[in-house]
Structure 1
Amino acid sequence: MLDIRRLHMLKTVAARGSITAAAQSLALTAGAVSQQLATLRHDVGVDLLRPDGRTVALTEAGQVLLEHADRIFAAVEEAECAIAAAKGTVGATATLAALPSTVARIVAPALTALGTHHPQLTVTCLVTDQAQLRELTLGTVDVVLGQRYHHLPDTAPRGIDISPLLDDPLLVVTAADQAGEGPIALRDLATHSLAVPPPATDCGQAILRACHQAGFTPTTRYITADIAAQLTLARAGLATALVPRTAIDPATPGIRTAPIADHSIQRLLFAATRHTEAANPTTAAVIAALLAAARQDLTTDHPPV
């Protein structure tokens, strides 16, 4: 009989690209993973992995086995969710992956509310700029607070459910003594020195696309994905920044924010979970808290515009 733990190791190796990387994510030694995969290979009687340059890849038989394994994993999770739904109680642990720009105004209020309403639930929060939907499919996280800029297609992997939280527009951020009143046309930034994320990022691409639609190529004097650095440069009068609204503390001194009057740039913040037929009370509670925090944020005082 196939061992589900070995099947999960195979899936992790295929996703990570190497036994060493898989072992690190599983908190095991590379030797232990290799030994378990060797046993799995013996059980099925055919090679499941092959060298692929400096990485490894699934053989045809490995791909076939993994397709069946995915259905096994889904069935196991369905069973777990059905039992949890029958119990009707929120569990003891959950793992949330979130973007740094969402921590102050979405994640922290949500975790505070969860601590009040579900004190038995311990949420481990992984804060990272890296996309975590793959981690969701691997089972290393339970909920992902992610983003998708509106110019990009929806590329959620199969088997992932997306719950929209809110549309989050980028605001124009300048030093408090440099801004005028009211919204700012994006084309008026053609003469500004901008602090923007790298062009390879989704946000950087969205800004470049909007500027091109407005008829100019932006002057990017400062390139950084660190929003705190962008705000510091804006506060010092060295640059104009374009920053998501929820990433700005309303109490931040020395800056002024304004909406974009034309060519709006927006990201959708969403919560993602693995698809199950039966609702999981634990992940449902986390998503409900995130949604409540997002809705509350829309009603709070924002930076002056």
Structure 2
Amino acid sequence: MLDVRRLHMLKTVAARGSISAAAQSLELSAGAVSQQLAALRQDVGVDLLRPDGRTVALTEAGRVLLEHADRVFAAVEEAECAVAAVKGTVGATATLAALPSTVARIVAPALTALGADHPQLAVTCLVTDQAQLRELTLGAVDVVLGQRYHHLPETTPKGIAVSPLLDDPLLVVTAEHGGDERPVALRDLATHHLVVPPPATDCGQAVLHACRQAGFTPTARYVTADIAAQLELARAGLATALVPRAAIDPAAPGIRTAPIGDHPVQRLLFAATRRTGTANPTTAAVVAALRTAARQDRTTRLPPA
């Protein structure tokens, strides 16, 4: 009988691209992972991985095996959720992956509420921009607070359930003396010194796409994904920033915010979990807390979208 743990190691290696990277994420030694994969190869009698430049990739047999293994993982997850549902209580641990721009206004209030409502639940929060949904599919996290810009194609992996939380527009941020709070035409920013996220990021792509729709390609004076740095450059009067509303403290001094009037840019914030037929009380509690925090965030006194 195939060992489920070895199958999970194979999936992790395929996703990470190398045995060493998989070992690091699994908190094992590379030798231990190699040994288990060698045992799995002996079990099935065929090579499952092949060299691919500096990485490794699945062979055809490895790909077929993982297609079946994914159904095994889903069945195990379903069994765990069914038992948890019978118990009917929120568990002791959960792991949440969240975007940095959501921490202050959504994640922190949600975790505070969870601590009050479910004091036995310890939530580990991973704050990262990178590959959150992949971590969910690998079982490294239980809930993802992610984003999708409306104009970009949806790329939700198979087996992931998404619960919309909040439509979050980008706002034009300038120094406090830089204007009023009336809507700003994006085309009027063509002559501004802009601070924008790197073009490889979702937000960078969203800004680039919107500016091109408005008739210009932005020439960035500053490029950074660090929203605190973007806001500081705007506060100093050195640049104009385009920042998600949920990432801005409405009481922050020295900045002025205004909605985009002609080509609004919006991201959907969502909570994602692995899809199961039976709801897991623990992940359901985390998602509910995120939903409540997002709902409360809509009442903050910021310019309308």
Q: Distance in 1 between matches of 2:213 and 2:13?
A: 43
User: Does the 8 Å CA contact 2:167/2:269 hold for their aligned counterparts?
Assistant: yes
Shift of 1:135: 0.6
Matched to 2:167, the amino acid is: D
Aligned to 2:236: 236
Q: Distance in 2 between matches of 1:210 and 1:60?
A: 41
Q: Name stretches of at least 5 consecutive residues in structure 2 with no aligned partner.
A: none
Matched to 2:151, the amino acid is: H
Say if 2:39 is the partner of 1:32.
no
Q: Name stretches of at least 5 consecutive residues in structure 1 with no aligned partner.
A: none
**Greater CA drift, 172-181 or 146-155:** 172-181
Shift of 1:99: 0.4
**Greater CA drift, 169-178 or 51-60:** 51-60
User: Does the 8 Å CA contact 2:181/2:256 hold for their aligned counterparts?
Assistant: no
Q: Distance in 2 between matches of 1:6 and 1:96?
A: 25
Shift of 1:301: 2.6
Q: Distance in 1 between matches of 2:219 and 2:33?
A: 50
**Greater CA drift, 59-68 or 69-78:** 59-68
User: Does the 8 Å CA contact 1:184/1:260 hold for their aligned counterparts?
Assistant: yes
Matched to 1:213, the amino acid is: Q
Matched to 1:251, the amino acid is: A
Aligned counterparts, 1:47-196, within 5 A? 47-196=47-196
Deviations 1:79-103 (A, max 9, x none): 0000111111111100000000000
Aligned to 1:251: 251
Aligned to 1:272: 272
Aligned to 2:222: 222
Shift of 1:304: 9.9
Question: Does the C-alpha gap of structure 1 residues 5 and 181 become closer, same or farther in structure 2, counting only changes over 3 Å?
Answer: closer
TM-score (norm 2): 0.98
User: Does the 8 Å CA contact 2:181/2:259 hold for their aligned counterparts?
Assistant: no
TM-score (norm 1): 0.98
RMSD over aligned Cα atoms: 1.3
Aligned to 2:8: 8
Shift of 1:120: 0.6
User: Does the 8 Å CA contact 1:256/1:303 hold for their aligned counterparts?
Assistant: no
User: Does the 8 Å CA contact 1:2/1:43 hold for their aligned counterparts?
Assistant: yes
Q: Distance in 2 between matches of 1:203 and 1:64?
A: 36
Q: Distance in 2 between matches of 1:304 and 1:63?
A: 49
Deviations 1:56-101 (A, max 9, x none): 1111111111111111110000000001111111111000000000
Q: Distance in 1 between matches of 2:248 and 2:264?
A: 17
Q: Distance in 2 between matches of 1:303 and 1:109?
A: 21
Question: Does the C-alpha gap of structure 1 residues 224 and 146 become closer, same or farther in structure 2, counting only changes over 3 Å?
Answer: same
Deviations 1:200-255 (A, max 9, x none): 21111111111111112223111111111111110111111000000001111000
Seq. identity, %: 84
Q: Distance in 2 between matches of 1:35 and 1:146?
A: 35
Q: Distance in 2 between matches of 1:303 and 1:272?
A: 28
User: Does the 8 Å CA contact 2:181/2:257 hold for their aligned counterparts?
Assistant: no
Matched to 2:168, the amino acid is: D
Q: Which ranges of 4 or more aligned residues in structure 1 deviate by more than 2 Å?
A: 300-305
State the SS of the aligned residue for 2:221. strand
Aligned to 2:294: 294
State the SS of the aligned residue for 2:36. helix
Question: Does the C-alpha gap of structure 1 residues 181 and 53 become closer, same or farther in structure 2, counting only changes over 3 Å?
Answer: closer
Matched to 1:119, the amino acid is: P
Question: Does the C-alpha gap of structure 1 residues 30 and 303 become closer, same or farther in structure 2, counting only changes over 3 Å?
Answer: same
Question: Does the C-alpha gap of structure 1 residues 187 and 47 become closer, same or farther in structure 2, counting only changes over 3 Å?
Answer: same
Q: Distance in 1 between matches of 2:216 and 2:62?
A: 50
Matched to 1:124, the amino acid is: T
State the SS of the aligned residue for 2:295. helix
Deviations 1:94-127 (A, max 9, x none): 0000000000000000000000001110000000
State the SS of the aligned residue for 2:65. helix
Q: How many residues align?
A: 305
Shift of 1:268: 0.4
User: Does the 8 Å CA contact 1:168/1:269 hold for their aligned counterparts?
Assistant: yes
